Amino acid sequence: VDTPGALAVSQKHFITAAGNYTLPAPGSVKNGESITVASAPGIEPTISVSGGSQINTDKGADTEVIVNGDIQAEFVMTGTQWEV
């Protein structure tokens, strides 16, 4: 993906441009659906949820997650929130 914007469900996205990318709002996604995100080295895209919902992480809930080139992140819908 080379243009910031919305990320599609059930796909793996390899991001090559910095910027803000959005996950669909919780009410529009089924429980268990996922989105996988990886980024090119040196690119640190910001992932947030359309509508401003929080994302559950191992450090707690936050409104955005930064993905760097060292990881591949899988965002999974838990029914009411995204979890990474």
> What are the pLDDT digits (tens) for 2-28?
889 999 999 999 999 999 999 999 999
Q: What is the pTM of this model?
A: 0.92
- pLDDT the model gives residue 1: 86
Question: What span, in angstroms and rounded, lies between the C-alpha atoms of 79 and 30?
Answer: 7
Mean pLDDT over the full length of the chain: 94
- pLDDT the model gives residue 68: 85
Question: What span, in angstroms and rounded, lies between the C-alpha atoms of 66 and 46?
Answer: 5
